[in-house]
A = this chain, B = another copy of it.
Amino acid sequence: MIEIISIGDELLNGSTLNTNAKYLASQIFDMGYHVAHMTTLPDDDDILFAGIEKALSRSKIVITTGGLGPTLDDKTEEIVTKLLPDGLKKLDNTIGSASGLLFEDQGLIVLPGVPREMEAMWQSVQPYVKERLASEILTYHKKITLCHLPELSVDPTLRELKKTLPAIDFGIYPSYGTLIVRMSALKPDVLEKATDVITAKFSTQVMALCACKAEEALHTLLIEEKKTLSFAESCTGGSLASRITALADASTYFLGSVVSYSNSAKEQILGVSKQTLETHGAVSEEIAREMLEGVFEKFGSDYAISVTGIAGPSGGTKEKPVGTVWVALGKKGEKPHIGLVPKTKSAHKRETIIEITATFVLSSLWRLIKYGIPPFEEDHD
């Protein structure tokens, strides 16, 4: 019923990542509607004309993004006013310069390509979208975020559920350590039943009853519990801090991070011993422990995490291959939990090793605080 057309050579040649289509699709989905088509078209008069015409013939609402600026490769406005000469309404751009366009009778919404301008303008046309789609049947959704579970451990449960609740459409979206289960149905009550089954089955792995990142779960929990947090990061290189501080109000509990990328920084800022560095090397259980002690001492936070590892592609050895990442985490004054990050492999790319590590420690600390469950097997004794 709704169609999204992303316009721009920069998308077809891979210069630009299409975040606009994801944003719009997610907004439309949450409103209960359905995106039936997503296409990407070049800055070419004839292809644009034909593509938008085709979309208008089959979809009640067509949203285009991009190609609205003042420069020579911006062609959308010219094309759509040729295609639909009447009924144009300008949409104000509260942030940038290029106005959007709305053709109310035909269901065509023309938005700019700059994400923040597009998002603000989309918010302003939502009432129009709801009115135009007033007669449509809404779909209800429920998402559950699970952590520390592989896709294959969740799939059998969903297959069983599908038998008893066939009205539900399921999806599983794993992402380096967390996993989102999406359930959709035409009535909300069956979704509640399925939610009960899943939360009962995976109780201490249910991070949130919505789509949620590991840092968001930890963020919410630390604000609730009024506890503080700090990090000492080596191979994650500021990624832990940056994921936490991307969230508004992180300053209520986050004290800071020491990104000790060099041995001298580990010694001089975190107080790691030179001898330990020489004996065990920077990537070791002992250094993870000393970094954690150092960060507790420097920041005095209630909880802390330290990370030291080899993200590659160089720097690996036979004994410590790329993907070897030691982490320590815990509560001030208590015995720390120290271990190797599971599932990082030497074949992984640098960014993947950083992402898996960050998601693992953030979700591990969340689970430790929330349920007292330690992240490593040997911790159980």
Contacts and interface: CB of A to CB of B under 8 A. Distances in A.
Interface of A: 9-19, 21-29, 34-40, 43, 69-73, 94-95, 116, 141, 143, 151-152, 155, 158-159, 162, 170-173, 180, 182, 211, 230-231, 233, 235-242, 244-246, 248-251, 254-262, 264-265, 268-269, 298-300, 311-315, 345, 347-352, 354
Contacts of A254: 261-262
B26 A13 contact: yes
Contacts of A19: 17
Contacts of A255: 261-262, 264-265
A133 to B, nearest CB: 16
Given A15-B182, A255-B261, A173 B269 contact: no
B38 A25 contact: no
A172 B158 CA distance: 47
B259 A259 contact: yes
Contact of A38 (B11, B143, B311, B350): B11
Contacts of A300: 264
Given A13-B29, A71-B172, A255-B264, 11 more contacts: A12-B25, A18-B18, A70-B155, A72-B155, A73-B170, A242-B242, A246-B354, A254-B262, A255-B261, A255-B265, A258-B258
Nearest to A257: B259
